[in-house]
Chains A and B, each alone.
Chain A
Amino acid sequence: MEQQIVKVKNKRGVRVIPGFGLSFGVTLSMLSVLVLIPMASVFVSVGKLGLREFVDVVFSRQIISSYIVSFSCAFVAALVNAVFGMILAWVLVRYEFPGKRLMDGIIELPFALPTAVAGISLTYLYSDQGWIGSFFDRVGIKIAYTRIGITIAMVFVGIPFVVRMVQPVLAKLDRQYEEAAMMLGAGRARIFFKVILPELFPALIAGFGLAFARGIGEYGSVVFIAGNIPYKTQIAPLLIMTKLEQYKYEDATAIALVLLLVSFVVMLIINSAQIYMQKFSRT
Chain B
Amino acid sequence: MRQKKVNLCSKILVVLIVGFMITLTGCGGNERVASGGGDGNAELVELLNVSYDPTREFYATYNKMFSEYWKEKSGQGISVTQSHGGSGSQARSVIEGNEADVVTLALAHDVTAIEEAGLIERGWIGEFDSNSAPYTSTIVFLVHKGNEKNIQDWNDLIKDGVEVITPNPKTSGGACWNFLAAWAYQQKQDGNDEDVTKKFMKKLYQNVLVLDSGARGATNTFVENGQGDVLIAWENEAYLAMKEYPDQYEIVTPSVSILAQPSVAVVDSNVDDHGTREAAEAYLEYLYSDEAQRLAGDNYYRPVKEAILKEYSGQFDLDMNLVTIDDFGGWDEAYRVYFEDGAIFDQIYEE
Point out residues on A near B: beta carbons under 8 Å: 60-62, 101-102, 104-106, 108-109, 112-114, 116-117, 120-121, 123-124, 127-130, 144-145, 223, 227-231, 238, 241-242, 244-248, 251
Summarize A's interface: helix, strand, loop or mixed: helix
Q: Number of contacts between A and B (CB, 8 Å)?
A: 98
Shortest beta-carbon contacts, A-B, top 3: A105-B10, A129-B226, A245-B88
Of the candidates B21, B86, B226, which one forms a contact with A117 in the assembled complex, judged by CB atoms under 8 Å apart?
B21
Residue of A nearest to B3 (CB): A101
Q: Is the CB of A105 within 8 A of B88?
A: no
Q: Is the CB of B13 within 8 A of A102?
A: yes
Q: Is the CB of A113 within 8 A of B18?
A: yes
Shortest distance from the beta carbon of B86 to any chain A beta carbon, whole Å: 7
Point out residues on B near A: beta carbons under 8 Å: 6-7, 9-11, 13-15, 17-18, 21-22, 24-25, 27, 29, 86, 88-89, 92, 95, 113, 168, 170-171, 208-213, 224-227, 341, 346, 349-350
27 contacts between A and B (CB under 8 A): A61-B350, A102-B13, A105-B13, A109-B18, A112-B14, A113-B18, A113-B21, A116-B27, A116-B29, A117-B22, A121-B24, A121-B25, A144-B225, A145-B210, A228-B210, A228-B211, A228-B212, A228-B213, A229-B208, A229-B210, A238-B213, A242-B168, A242-B170, A242-B171, A245-B89, A245-B171, A246-B341
Given contacts A102-B10, A247-B113, contact A223 B92 (CB under 8 A): no
Cα(A105)–Cα(B15), bound, Å: 10
Given contacts A62-B346, A121-B21, A246-B88, contact A109 B14 (CB under 8 A): yes
Q: Is the CB of B18 within 8 A of A127?
A: no
Q: Name which of B15, B86, B170 has the most chain A CB atoms within 10 A of its CB.
A: B170
Shortest distance from the beta carbon of B23 to any chain A beta carbon, whole Å: 10
Q: Is the CB of B170 within 8 A of A101?
A: no
* Chain B contacts for A62, CB-based, 8 A: 346, 349-350
Residue of A nearest to B87 (CB): A245
Given contacts A127-B227, A247-B92, contact A101 B168 (CB under 8 A): no
* Chain A contacts for B88, CB-based, 8 A: 245-246
Q: Is the CB of B225 within 8 A of A130?
A: yes
Shortest distance from the beta carbon of B347 to any chain A beta carbon, whole Å: 11
Given contacts A117-B27, A242-B168, contact A227 B211 (CB under 8 A): yes
Q: Is the CB of A101 within 8 A of B22?
A: no
Q: Is the CB of B92 within 8 A of A245?
A: yes
Of the candidates B15, B17, B113, B225, which one forms a contact with A127 in the assembled complex, judged by CB atoms under 8 Å apart?
B225
Cα(A127)–Cα(B225), bound, Å: 7
Shortest distance from the beta carbon of A103 to any chain B beta carbon, whole Å: 9
List 14 extra interface pairs beyond A106-B17, A145-B210, A244-B89, CB under 8 A: A61-B350, A105-B7, A105-B14, A109-B14, A116-B29, A124-B25, A127-B226, A128-B227, A130-B225, A144-B225, A228-B210, A228-B211, A245-B86, A245-B89
